[in-house]
């Protein structure tokens, strides 16, 4: 019985340690690299923020200091950085269960893939 259990563990580990990535995983890694490359680090009154405006200029994905930066501060920093009016959708704060003056936590960032979407109107 021990031999069968050991064989099953070895088989499972070798399957998990495959050196090949799925095409979907490779595409996600490439997409994340492009996003990170296009992001701009901005120093605001609320501290450093990473702002990435999408190609169409309609959405900015923003990451601030977890537990410190608020959605209102993100909106202000994005507006100053882009020269556009910037506002998070009402449902974003509702989904996080906070208002715009509550600091955004690590868990909140994880809900949105690491950055909070802020809408731009230019």
Domain that holds residue 47: 2-121
Average pLDDT over residues 12-20: 47
86 against 30, higher pLDDT? 86
The pLDDT of residue 30 is 58
pTM reported for the whole predicted model: 0.69
Tokens 């715009």 correspond to 100
Q: What is the pLDDT of residues 39-82, one digit of tens each?
A: 899 999 889 999 999 988 899 999 999 999 999 999 999 999 99
Average model confidence (pLDDT) across the chain: 81
How many other C-beta atoms lie within 10 A of the C-beta of residue 120?
19
Rounded to an integer, the average pLDDT of 28-41 is 65
Of the candidates 32, 50, 96, the one whose C-alpha atom is nearest the C-alpha of residue 88 is 96
Number of domains in the chain: 1
Cα–Cα distance for residue pair 119/88, rounded to 1 Å: 6
Q: Which pLDDT value is given to residue 20?
A: 59
Percentage of the residues of the chain whose pLDDT score is greater than 70? 70
From CA 103, how far away is CA 113, in angstroms rounded?
A: 17
CB neighbourhood size of 28 (10 A):
12
Q: Spell out the residues 6+ positions from residue 7 whose beta carbon is closer than 8 angstroms to its own.
A: none
In this prediction, residue 64 carries a pLDDT of 94
Q: Are 89 and 117 in contact (CB under 8 A)?
A: yes
pLDDT at 100 over 80: yes
Per-residue pLDDT tens over the stretch 20-31: 566 766 665 555
Residues composing the chain: 122
């Amino acid at each position: 019985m021990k031999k069968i259990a050991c064989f099953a563990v070895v088989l499972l580990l070798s399957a998990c340690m495959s050196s090949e990535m799925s095409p979907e995983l490779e595409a996600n890694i490439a997409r994340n690299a492009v996003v990170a490359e296009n992001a701009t680090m901005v120093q605001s009154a609320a501290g450093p923020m990473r702002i990435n405006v999408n190609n169409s200029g309609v959405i900015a994905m923003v990451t601030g200091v977890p537990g410190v930066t608020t959605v209102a501060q993100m909106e202000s920093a994005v507006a100053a950085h882009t020269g556009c009016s910037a506002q998070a959708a009402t449902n974003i704060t509702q989904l996080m269960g906070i208002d715009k003056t509550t600091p955004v936590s690590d868990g909140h960032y994880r809900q949105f893939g690491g950055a909070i979407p802020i809408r731009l109107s230019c």
